[in-house]
């Protein structure tokens, strides 16, 4: 194994259920011809590779591409990101979701400036110690940017390797996860580990799809135990998704006599951390001591674990003062005109509510 630490690649050949060198060569050959042209591919800058990997977490490449280009134009270096205002960082991320990724990117950039001279560390263990960088992202950066022979195991890789093994158990935990790690580590333990890791990811994204794998186009087909069984789409078994929790809330569209709107900023930690929005409260809570009017029908908005139903209400106060009481999770309140709100980092839900407000003129 090359320097860089990380998951052990010291796997005995006898322990492997497939021919790792042959499969590695097939993956590299396929990737050289069939990989998608994406702006972070062949990047020489480890910082760019890091940014792309964080953006690609739970987000499709086609969605990420314009965000990546704008981000690199706004924050071209680790130092530039570290020195930027959080509002600017969140605004650049606006629409990508999972905003903790953006906040952690900036936190990690500041750590790199303070502890690593502004240079992204090469070692897997040093990378994994940075905010927001877990085992997958550390493995991806270490292998792609620095040639470390470590695996990078995301959901696509788990599915591809799980099918190679015809895994009948959950490949995200326990014995199933360990079996995937053994194979992925062995495949990364050779030349161009970054290309091999990216080939596995690319294969899962474009060929070895969850429900309709295109086996005739797959370079790993000769080694695929699931294909030999006869129905690779059945492997590995899928975990049932938890049903999102239903939550109801009221969104307060409060204006003062000058037409300014009351907006609040969420605490940096937690859901939509650091973003601005019309204050949300439970349906039975009161924010301002004036009569309210309905602002149209309720809106639905889905998060990964929450199915949110929001009822907008309108109110006008005689004096621009803050709310009647402390409202969590908000830490800052402002009265702003519509144009000023457009310059703030806001969520997709807030954009929906602004559209509702604009409809009233």
Distance separating alpha carbons of residues 115 and 100, to the nearest angstrom: 22
Q: Name the average pLDDT for the chain.
A: 91
Phi/psi for 313 (5° steps) reads -130, 150
Confidence check: pLDDT of 163 > 90: yes
- What digits encode the pLDDT tens for the residues 241-281? 888 999 999 999 999 999 999 999 999 888 899 999 999 99
Average pLDDT over residues 121-134: 97
pLDDT at 202 over 50: yes
Q: pLDDT at residue 10 above 50?
A: no
Range with the largest mean pLDDT of 1-15, 260-274, 286-300: 260-274
What pLDDT is recorded for position 11? Answer: 36
Candidate from 104-108, 178-182, 256-260 with smallest mean pLDDT: 256-260
> Is pLDDT at 14 greater than 70 in this prediction?
no
- CA Rg, the chain, in Å? 24
Q: How confident is the model at residue 291 (pLDDT cuts 50, 70, 90)?
A: confident
Chain-centroid distance, C-alpha 348? 16
* DSSP secondary structure code for residue 293 in this structure: E
Residues noted as catalytic: 53
pLDDT the model gives residue 359: 73
Consecutive H or E run containing 141: helix 135-146
Q: Does position 186 have pLDDT exceeding 70, yes or no?
A: yes
Find the mean pLDDT for residues 124-129.
98
Q: Average pLDDT in the 190-209 region?
A: 97
Per-residue pLDDT at 245: 94
The residue ranking higher by pLDDT, 289 or 309, is 309
Q: Who wins on pLDDT, 221 or 231?
A: 221
266: alpha, beta or left, given left = phi > 0 and alpha = psi -120 to 50?
Answer: beta
How far is the C-alpha of 191 from the C-alpha of 146, rounded, in Å? 12
User: How many whole angstroms separate alpha carbon 20 and alpha carbon 361?
Assistant: 64
Q: Does residue 163 have a cis peptide bond before it, meaning omega lies within 30 degrees of 0?
A: no
The continuous run of DSSP H or E covering 334 comes out as: strand 330-336
Domains and CATH numbers, the chain: 13-234 (1.10.340.30), 245-358 (3.90.79.10)
Residue 62 pLDDT > 90, yes or no? yes
Q: What is the mean pLDDT of residues 55-65?
A: 95
pLDDT digit string, tens, across residues 39-58? 999 888 999 999 999 999 98
In 3D space, the residue among 345, 242, 253 whose CA is nearest the CA of residue 299 turns out to be 253
Q: pTM for this one?
A: 0.86
Q: Is there a contact between 184 and 233 (Cβ–Cβ < 8 Å)?
A: no
């Amino acid at each position: 194994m090359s320097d860089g630490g990380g998951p052990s690649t010291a796997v005995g050949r006898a322990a492997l259920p497939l021919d790792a060198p042959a499969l590695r060569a097939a993956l590299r050959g396929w990737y050289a011809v069939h990989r998608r042209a994406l702006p972070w591919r062949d990047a020489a800058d480890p910082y760019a590779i890091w940014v792309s990997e964080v953006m690609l977490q739970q987000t499709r490449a086609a969605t990420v591409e314009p965000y990546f280009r704008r981000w690199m134009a706004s924050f071209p270096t680790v130092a530039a990101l570290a020195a930027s205002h959080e509002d600017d960082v969140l605004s650049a991320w606006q629409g990508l979701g999972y905003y903790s990724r953006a906040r952690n990117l900036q936190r990690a950039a500041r750590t790199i400036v303070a502890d690593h001279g502004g240079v992204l560390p090469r070692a897997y263990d040093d990378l994994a110690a940075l905010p927001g960088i877990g085992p997958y992202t550390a493995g991806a950066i270490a292998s792609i940017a620095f040639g470390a022979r470590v695996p990078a195991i995301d959901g696509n890789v788990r599915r591809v390797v799980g099918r190679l093994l015809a895994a009948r158990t959950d490949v995200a935990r326990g014995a199933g996860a360990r079996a995937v790690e053994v194979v992925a580590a062995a495949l990364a333990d050779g030349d161009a580990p970054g290309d091999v890791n990216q080939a596995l990811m690319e294969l899962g994204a474009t060929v070895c799809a969850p429900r309709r794998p295109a086996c005739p186009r797959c370079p790993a087909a000769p080694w695929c135990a699931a294909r030999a069984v006869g129905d690779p789409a059945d492997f590995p078994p899928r975990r049932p998704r938890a049903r999102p929790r239903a939550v109801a809330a009221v969104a307060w569209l409060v204006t003062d006599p000058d037409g300014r709107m009351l907006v609040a900023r969420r605490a940096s930690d937690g859901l939509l951390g650091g973003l601005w929005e019309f204050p949300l409260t439970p349906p039975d809570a009161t924010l301002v001591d004036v009569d309210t009017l309905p602002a149209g029908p309720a809106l639905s908005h889905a998060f990964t674990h929450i199915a949110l139903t929001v009822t907008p209400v309108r109110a006008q106060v005689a004096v621009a003062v803050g709310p009647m009481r402390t409202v969590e999770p908000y830490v800052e309140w402002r009265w702003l005109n519509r144009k000023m709100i457009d310059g703030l980092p806001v969520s997709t839900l807030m954009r929906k509510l602004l559209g509702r407000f604009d409809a009233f003129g």
